[in-house]
Structure 1
Amino acid sequence: MTEFDIVGPEAIREGVATDAYFERTEATLRHAGKNPRVVAEVTADQFPDGDFEVFAGVKDAAALLEGHDVDVDAMFEGQLFDGGPVMRIEGDYLEFARLETSLLGFLSHASGCATAALEARVAAPDTPVLSFGARHVHPSIAAMVERSALVAGLDGFSHVAAGDILGKEASGTMPHALLIAFGRGNQADAFRAFDDAVPEDVPRVALCDTYGDETEEVLRAVETLGDDLDSVRLDTTSSRRGDFRHIVREVRWELDARGHEDVGIFVSGGLGPAELRHLHDVVDGFGVGGYISNANPVDFALDIVEVNGEPAAKRGKLSGVKQVYRTTDGGHHVGLRGRPGPTDGESLLEPLIRDGEVVREFDLDAATRRTHEDAETVGFGEE
């Protein structure tokens, strides 16, 4: 028994974090003296259907396969895909068979979170959006959630330990618990204590919906912190929210009427792309939580498509080694490797591992730029 129900890095690396039938497959093949040379592909959909998703989790996948005698080609982190393989593995099957479970987990979950984060990003393209969803997932994967959010172009995240892993500083100011700890009617004391306690470089963002009317608490924050107040945050419970857009506009009006045009309004609480589109012109920032962290993983599968040089596939899957292409008009095309692709097509499967050695660097900022550029090329999120 372990202190926490967490499968550790050693189990993942050694292939113990696997489905039981892979152990039994391995035992059977070794008993039969079989270890065919195969090509396997990671694929969600066989053919393009116009529904693009973001490829993420590549860094962890590369670390998993590193040191194994395989060659791997893959899309780059942040690339958008629509059918066909996102990764190709070539080698003796027993070299990587038991790694399939972890490999698909790394890619599926991260790609799902990154895709949801991109949906939020394009819904409010000119407004800061932060990832607030780490509290909804097992803490062992918080860094994956936050990295996926950054790959999609979000402006920050809330999880401190994830920030340590990613080399980025977490964002956040005060929860309702702080206001409640000071007691009803003592919001000003909480605002003042916060201002006295936290470092100067932390923005002064007052949470203004704990006990009373949002506008009333906002004005109390202004009276308490004056010019030191950077922003206010509204996180009104949905059952009390009513017309949230109207509430935000009222707060903005009352701030402006008192000469506080420079105080921003940040909103959070159960927000998704629809709410961001509805509010982005009247707020100065968003916190998006469960929509990103609770996103459905992409349903990737790993399928053998060639055995000892001959095409092979299970029923319903496409045999033969493939290549995927992006054309200048944003098209996504799937074809057989070695056959001519689109005349203006760019091959998307590029070397990731050669002879067990990772041959690619993982630059998070470059991945973010790639996502943004590719999303524009394919028209991601356009109605």
Structure 2
Amino acid sequence: MTEFDIVGADAIASGRATDAYFERTEAVLEAAGRNPEVVAEVTADQFPTGDFELLAGLKDAAALLSGHDVDVDAIPEGRLFDGGPVLRIRGDYLAFARLETSLLGFLSHASGMATAALDCRVAAPDSTVLSFGARHVHPAMTVAVERSALIAGFDGFSHVAAGDLLGREAGGTMPHALMICFGRGNQEAAWAAFDETVEEGAPRIALCDTFSDEKDEVLRAVETLGDRLDGVRLDTTGSRRGDFRHILREVAWELDARGHEDVDLYVSGGLGPADLRHLRDVADGFGVGGTVSNADPVDFALDIVEVDGEPVSKRGKLSGVKQVYRTPDGGHGVGLADREGPADAEPLLEPLIRDGELVDGREFDVDAAAERALADADRVGYGDEEA
């Protein structure tokens, strides 16, 4: 027994983090003396459907497959896809058979969260958007949550340990618990204590909805912190919000009337893309939680499409080695890799691993992935129908 229910990195790397039938498959093939060279592809949809998704999790996938005698091609992290493979493996089947479970988990979960985060990012393109969803998942998953959000273009996140591993500082100010510990009627004392205690580099953003009307607490926070107040956050429980857009407009009006129009308004608590679109012109920033961390994984599968040079597939899947393309009009194309692709189209699958080694120049920089994601979203018109 371990202290926490966490499958460790050693079990993942060794292939122990697998489904039992892969272990039995290995035993059967070894006993039969069969180990064909195959090409296997990771795919969600066989053909384009018009619904793009964002690829994430490739860093972990590359780490998993490196060191095994395989060649791997993949779409770069941060690109959008719509049908066809996102990753392709060529090698003897037993070189990677037991890695399938972890490989799909890395790609499916991260891509689902990144896609949900992109939905929020394009819903409020000019706003600050922060990831607040770590509390909804197993602690071992928090780095994947925050990294997926960053790949989609989020501006920051809240989880401290995830920040340690990502090399970035987590952000956040105060919870309702802090306000409640100071007691009803003592909001000013809580805000002042925060200002006096927390390092100068941290923004002074006061939580202003704990005990009384949002407008009342906002004005009291301004009176308490004056020019040191950078912003206010409203995290009002849904049952008490009423017309939240009207509340934000009212707060902004009162701040402006008193010469504090430079105080930013931040909103959090159960927000999704529709909320961000509805509030983006009356709020400066948003904290998004469960919409990202609770997102459904992308339903990837790994299928063998070639055995010893011959095309093959199970029923319902497409045989043969494939390439996917970004077409000049922003579409997504799928075709056989040994055929000419659409005119002037950009092939998306690129070398990732050769002979078990990561290809020189392939990198997993989060900022570069976010740039690709936002550029690709603009190119394919991602989210335009929701504007």
Q: Is the 8 A contact 1:37 1:90 kept in 2?
A: yes
Aligned: 1:302 with 2:291: no
**Aligned amino acid, residue 311 of structure 1:** P
CA distance in structure 2 between the aligned counterparts of 1:193 and 1:317, rounded to whole angstroms: 62
**Aligned amino acid, residue 165 of structure 1:** L
Q: Is the 8 A contact 1:156 1:171 kept in 2?
A: yes
CA distance in structure 1 between the aligned counterparts of 2:378 and 2:254, rounded to whole angstroms: 38
Aligned: 1:313 with 2:329: no
Aligned length: 383
Residue 250 of structure 1 corresponds to which residue in structure 2? 250
CA distance in structure 1 between the aligned counterparts of 2:214 and 2:363, rounded to whole angstroms: 47
**Aligned amino acid, residue 370 of structure 1:** R
CA distance in structure 2 between the aligned counterparts of 1:20 and 1:254, rounded to whole angstroms: 63
CA distance in structure 2 between the aligned counterparts of 1:55 and 1:152, rounded to whole angstroms: 10
Residue 374 of structure 2 corresponds to which residue in structure 1? 372
Residue 79 of structure 1 corresponds to which residue in structure 2? 79
CA distance in structure 2 between the aligned counterparts of 1:182 and 1:86, rounded to whole angstroms: 52
Cα distance, 1:343 vs structure 2 = 1.4
CA distance in structure 1 between the aligned counterparts of 2:379 and 2:328, rounded to whole angstroms: 8
**Aligned amino acid, residue 170 of structure 1:** A
Q: Is the 8 A contact 1:17 1:102 kept in 2?
A: yes
Cα distance, 1:48 vs structure 2 = 0.2
Q: Is the 8 A contact 1:188 1:221 kept in 2?
A: yes
Cα distance, 1:226 vs structure 2 = 0.8
Residue 176 of structure 1 corresponds to which residue in structure 2? 176
Cα distance, 1:234 vs structure 2 = 0.1
CA distance in structure 2 between the aligned counterparts of 1:255 and 1:324, rounded to whole angstroms: 52
Cα distance, 1:95 vs structure 2 = 0.4
Cα distance, 1:101 vs structure 2 = 0.3
Cα distance, 1:179 vs structure 2 = 0.3
Q: Is the 8 A contact 1:104 1:301 kept in 2?
A: yes
Match of 1:170, SS?
coil
User: For each residue in 1:177-233, what CA deviation from the matched residue of structure 2 results, as whole angstroms up to 9, or x when unmatched?
Assistant: 000111111111100100010000100000000111101111111111111000000
Residue 209 of structure 1 corresponds to which residue in structure 2? 209
Residue 381 of structure 1 corresponds to which residue in structure 2? 383
User: TM-score by structure 2 length?
Assistant: 0.98
Cα distance, 1:357 vs structure 2 = 0.3
Cα distance, 1:164 vs structure 2 = 1.0
**Aligned amino acid, residue 368 of structure 1:** A
**Aligned amino acid, residue 78 of structure 2:** G
Residue 29 of structure 2 corresponds to which residue in structure 1? 29
Aligned: 1:327 with 2:327: yes
Residue 220 of structure 1 corresponds to which residue in structure 2? 220
- The CA RMSD over aligned residues, in Å, is 0.6
CA distance in structure 1 between the aligned counterparts of 2:282 and 2:115, rounded to whole angstroms: 25
Cα distance, 1:327 vs structure 2 = 1.1
User: For each residue in 1:132-155, what CA deviation from the matched residue of structure 2 results, as whole angstroms up to 9, or x when unmatched?
Assistant: 000001110111111111110011
CA distance in structure 1 between the aligned counterparts of 2:83 and 2:270, rounded to whole angstroms: 31
CA distance in structure 1 between the aligned counterparts of 2:76 and 2:182, rounded to whole angstroms: 49
CA distance in structure 1 between the aligned counterparts of 2:207 and 2:103, rounded to whole angstroms: 41
Match of 2:206, SS?
strand
CA distance in structure 2 between the aligned counterparts of 1:357 and 1:217, rounded to whole angstroms: 58
CA distance in structure 2 between the aligned counterparts of 1:46 and 1:166, rounded to whole angstroms: 34
CA distance in structure 1 between the aligned counterparts of 2:365 and 2:213, rounded to whole angstroms: 45
Gaps of 5+ in 1: none
Gaps of 5+ in 2: none
Residue 19 of structure 1 corresponds to which residue in structure 2? 19
Match of 1:298, SS?
coil
**Aligned amino acid, residue 106 of structure 1:** F
CA distance in structure 2 between the aligned counterparts of 1:314 and 1:52, rounded to whole angstroms: 25
Residue 287 of structure 1 corresponds to which residue in structure 2? 287
Cα distance, 1:83 vs structure 2 = 0.2
Match of 1:173, SS?
coil
Residue 345 of structure 1 corresponds to which residue in structure 2? 345
User: TM-score by structure 1 length?
Assistant: 0.99
Aligned structure 1 segments of 4 or more residues deviating by more than 2 angstroms: none
CA distance in structure 2 between the aligned counterparts of 1:215 and 1:221, rounded to whole angstroms: 10
CA distance in structure 2 between the aligned counterparts of 1:374 and 1:251, rounded to whole angstroms: 36
Cα distance, 1:331 vs structure 2 = 1.2
Q: Is the 8 A contact 1:328 1:377 kept in 2?
A: no
Cα distance, 1:293 vs structure 2 = 0.6
Match of 1:90, SS?
strand
Residue 107 of structure 1 corresponds to which residue in structure 2? 107
Residue 89 of structure 2 corresponds to which residue in structure 1? 89
CA distance in structure 1 between the aligned counterparts of 2:319 and 2:157, rounded to whole angstroms: 42
Residue 157 of structure 2 corresponds to which residue in structure 1? 157
